[in-house]
Chain A
Amino acid sequence: MSELEAVIGLEIHTQLKTRTKMFCGCELSFGEPPNTRTCPVCLGLPGALPVANARAIHFALMIGLALGCEVAPRSIFHRKNYFYPDLPKGYQISQYDEPICSGGELAGVRLHRVHLEEDAAKLIHVGESGRIHGSQRSVVDFNRGGTPLVEIVTEPELRSPGHAREWLTLLRATLRSLGVSDVNMEEGSLRADANVSLRPVGTSVLGTKTELKNMNSFRFIERGIAAEIERQRQIIESGGAVEQETLHFDPSSGRLSSLRSKEEAEDYRYFPEPDLIPIATTDEMVSAARADIGELPLDRAKRFEADLGLNADGARNLAFRGELGDYFERVLGSTGAEHAVAVANWIGQLVARIGDADPADTNVTPQAFGALVMLVGSRAVSGAAAREVLDVLVAEGGDPQAIIDARGLGSLSRKDGDLATIVARAIAADPSASERVRAGNDKAIGALVGAVMRETRGRADGAEVTRLIHEQLAT
Chain B
Amino acid sequence: MMDLVELTAAQAAAAIGRGDLAARELFDFYRDRAAADELNAFTWVAQESPEAGDGPLGGVPLAVKDLFCTAGVPSQSGSRILEGYRPPYTATVVERLARAGAPLLAKTNQDEFAMGSSTENSGFGPTLNPWDRTRVPGGSSGGSAAAVAAGLAPWAIGTDTGGSIRQPAALCGIVGLKPTYGAVSRYGMIAFASSLDQAGPLTRDVSDAALLLMQMVGARDPRDATSLDYPGSVSLPARTDLHGIRLGVPTELSSDGIEPGVLGAFAASLELARQLGASVETCQLPHAAHALAAYYVLAPAEASSNLARFDGVRYGLRAQDATDLLDMYTRTRHDGFGAEVKRRIMLGTYALSSGYYEAYYGRAQRVRTLIARDFAATFEHFDFVVTPTAPGVAFELGAKTADPYAMYLNDICTVPASLAGIPAISIPNGMAAPPGGGKSLPVGLQLIGPAFSEDRLLSAAFALEQALGFDGRAARR
The short answer to whether A and B are in direct contact, CB under 8 Å, is yes
Question: Which residues of A come within 8 Å of B, CB atoms?
Answer: 40, 43-52, 79, 81, 83, 85, 88-91, 140, 267, 269-271, 274-277
Chain B nearest Cβ from A169, distance in angstroms = 37
Please report which residues of chain B, range 306-326, place their CB below 8 angstroms from some CB of chain A when the two chains form the complex. Answer: 307-311, 313-315, 325
Residue of B69, B222, B224, B357 touching A46 (CB-CB under 8 A)? B69
- List 15 additional contacts besides A81-B308, A90-B311, A274-B194; criterion CB under 8 Å: A46-B87, A46-B315, A48-B89, A48-B187, A51-B222, A52-B225, A81-B305, A85-B311, A90-B307, A140-B313, A269-B305, A271-B361, A274-B193, A274-B195, A274-B226
Report B221 CB to chain A, min CB distance, Å: 9
Distance (Å) between the CB of A59 and the closest chain B CB? 19
Q: How many A-B Cβ pairs are below 8 Å? A: 103
How close is A244's CB to chain B, nearest CB, in angstroms? Answer: 15
Confirm or deny: B420 has a beta carbon within 8 angstroms of a beta carbon on chain A.
Answer: no
B78 CB to closest chain A CB (Å) equals 12
In the complex, A58→B330 CA distance in Å? 40
B361 near A45 with CB under 8 A, answer no
B71-93 to A contact mask, C-beta < 8 Å, 1/0: 00001010000100101110100
Closest Cβ of chain A: how far from B150's Cβ, in Å?
Answer: 27
Q: Which residues of A contact B89 (CB under 8 A)?
A: 40, 45, 48
Q: Please provide the chain B residues from 158 to 217 with a CB less than 8 Å away from any CB of chain A in the complex.
A: 186-191, 193-195
* Interface pair B188/A47, CB less than 8 Å apart: yes
Shortest distance from the beta carbon of A266 to any chain B beta carbon, whole Å: 10
Contacts of B354 in A (CB 8 A): 267, 269
**Cβ contact within 8 Å between A267 and B353:** yes
In the complex, what distance in Å separates the CA atom of A47 from the CA atom of B186? 8
- The complex places the Cα of A89 from the Cα of B352 at a distance, in Å, of 17
Contact with A along B222-266 (1 / 0, CB 8 A): 111110000000000000000000000000000000000000000
Q: Is B329 an interface residue (CB 8 A)?
A: yes
Contact of A90 among B68, B195, B309 (CB under 8 A): B309
Would you mind naming 26 contact pairs between A and B with Cβ atoms under 8 Å apart?
A40-B87, A43-B314, A45-B315, A46-B85, A46-B191, A46-B315, A47-B69, A47-B87, A47-B187, A47-B190, A47-B191, A49-B186, A51-B224, A52-B225, A83-B308, A83-B329, A85-B311, A89-B309, A267-B354, A269-B305, A270-B352, A270-B357, A274-B194, A276-B225, A276-B226, A277-B225
The CA of A85 and the CA of B311, in the complex, are separated in Å by 8
Q: Is B302 an interface residue (CB 8 A)?
A: yes
CA distance A89 to B304 in the complex (A): 11
A91-B77 contact in complex given A44-B314, A50-B225, C-beta closer than 8 Å: no
Give complex CA distance A89, B85 in Å: 17
Complex CA gap A467/B75 in Å reads 93
Contacts of A91 in B (CB 8 A): 305, 308
Convert B272-296 into 0s and 1s, putting 1 for each residue whose CB lies closer than 8 angstroms to a CB of A: 0000000000000000000000000
- The interface residues of chain B lying within 8 Å CB-to-CB of A275 are 191, 194, 225-226
- Complex Cα distance A50/B309, Å? 14
For residue B323, which residue of chain A has the nearest CB? A135
Separation in Å of the B241 CB from the closest CB of chain A?
40
**A46-B77 contact in complex given A81-B305, A267-B353, A271-B361, C-beta closer than 8 Å:** yes
Contacts of A83 in B (CB 8 A): 308, 311, 329
A90 to B313, CA, bound (A): 11
Which chain B residue lies CB-closest to A265? B354
If A91-B308, A271-B357 touch, does A45 touch B226 (CB 8 Å cutoff)? no
Q: Which residue of B lies closest to A142 (CB)?
A: B314
Interface SS of chain B: helix, strand, loop or mixed?
loop
Residues in B345-385 with C-beta less than 8 Å from chain A? 349, 352-354, 357, 361
**Chain B residues whose CB sits within 8 angstroms of the CB of A271 once the complex forms:** 301-302, 305, 352, 357, 361
Which residue of A is nearest B315, CB measured? A45
A202 → chain B closest CB, angstroms: 35
The chain B residue sitting closest to A46, CB to CB, is B190
Say how far B40's CB is from chain A's closest CB, in angstroms.
Answer: 22
Which chain B positions have C-beta within 8 A of A43?
A: 314
Q: In the bound complex, do residue A45 and residue B305 qualify as a contact, i.e. CB atoms below 8 Å apart?
A: no
Interface size class of B (residues with CB under 8 A): 35 or more
Q: Give CA–CA (A271, B193) in the complex, Å.
A: 13
In the bound complex, residues from chain B placing their C-beta under 8 Å from that of A45 are 69, 87-89, 314-315
Report how far A1 CA is from B298 CA in the complex, Å.
53
Q: Please give me the residue from chain A that is nearest to B350 by CB atom.
A: A269
User: What residues of A have a CB within 8 angstroms of the CB of B193 in the complex?
Assistant: 274
Q: Which residues of A contact B186 (CB under 8 A)?
A: 49
A277 to B182, CA, bound (A): 11
Cβ of B104 to closest chain A Cβ, rounded Å: 15
- Chain A residue nearest to B195 (CB atoms) is A274
| Residue pair B225, A47 in contact (C-beta under 8 Å) | no
- Digitize B137-167: 1 where CB-to-A-CB distance is under 8 Å, 0 elsewhere: 0000000000000000000000000000000
CA distance A88 to B314 in the complex (A): 8
User: Smallest CB-CB separation from B329: which chain A residue?
Assistant: A83
Contacting A at CB under 8 A, from B45-76, are 67-69, 75
- Chain B residues with Cβ below 8 Å from A140 are 313
- Give the distance to chain A from B188, nearest Cβ to Cβ, in Å: 4
Known contacts A49-B187, A91-B305; decide if A277 and B226 are in contact (CB<8 Å). yes
Chain A residues near B188: list those with CB within 8 A. 47-48
Residues of chain B within 8 A (CB-CB) of A267 are 353-354
Which residue on A lies nearest to B88, using beta carbons? A40
Q: Is the CB of B315 within 8 A of A51?
A: no
Give the distance in Å from the alpha carbon of A52 to the alpha carbon of B222 in the complex. Answer: 11
Which residues of B lie under 8 Å from residue A88 when comparing CB positions?
309, 313-314
Q: In the assembled complex, how far is the CB of residue B218 from the closest CB belonging to chain A, in whole angstroms?
A: 18
Contact of B75 among A46, A90, A270 (CB under 8 A): A46
Tell me, rounded to whole Å, the shortest Cβ–Cβ distance linking B299 to chain A.
Answer: 11
Question: Cα distance A140–B315 when bound, in Å?
Answer: 13
Q: Across the interface, do A44 and B305 meet the contact criterion of CB distance under 8 Å?
A: no
Q: Which of A46, A47, A269 contacts B352 (CB 8 A)?
A: A269
With A and B bound together, what is the CA distance between A104 and B12 in angstroms? Answer: 65
B82 contacts A46, CB within 8 Å? yes
- Complex: chain B residue closest to A267, CB-CB: B354
Residues of A contacting B361 in the complex (Cβ-Cβ under 8 angstroms): 271
Q: How far is the CA of A44 from the CA of B225 in the complex (A)?
A: 16
Q: Which of A81, A140, A270, A274 has the most CB of B within 10 A?
A: A274
Contacts of A50 in B (CB 8 A): 225
Q: Would you give the shortest CB distance from B43 to chain A, in whole angstroms? A: 15
CA A274 – CA B361 in complex, angstroms?
13
B417–chain A nearest beta-carbon distance, Å = 18
Q: From residue B19, how far is it (CB to closest CB) to chain A in Å? A: 38
Across the two chains, which residue of chain A brings its CB closest to B87? A45
List of A residues within 8 angstroms of B305 by Cβ? 79, 81, 90-91, 269, 271
A278 to B53, CA, bound (A): 40
Smallest beta-carbon distance B365→chain A, Å = 8
Closest Cβ of chain B to A261, distance in Å, is 17
Cross-chain contact of A89 among B87, B223, B308 (Cβ < 8 A): B308
> Smallest Cβ distance from A296 to chain B, in angstroms?
33
Complex CA–CA separation, A66 to B224 (angstroms): 32
B302 touches A274 (CB 8 A): yes
Q: B223's contact among A51, A79, A81, by CB below 8 Å, is which?
A: A51
Return B265 CB to nearest CB of chain A, in Å.
36
Residue in A closest to B113 when the chains form the complex, CB atoms: A46
CB-CB under 8 A from A49, the residues of chain B are: 186-187, 223-226
How many Å from the CB of A159 to the closest CB on chain B? 33
With a CB–CB cut-off of 8 A, which chain A residues contact B222?
Answer: 51
Would you give the shortest CB distance from A262 to chain B, in whole angstroms?
Answer: 13
Q: Closest CB of chain A to B446's CB: distance in Å?
A: 25
Scoring A46, A49, A79 by chain B CB atoms within 10 A of each residue's CB, the highest score goes to: A46
Question: Which of B190, B225, B325, B353 has the largest count of A CB atoms less than 10 A from its CB?
Answer: B225
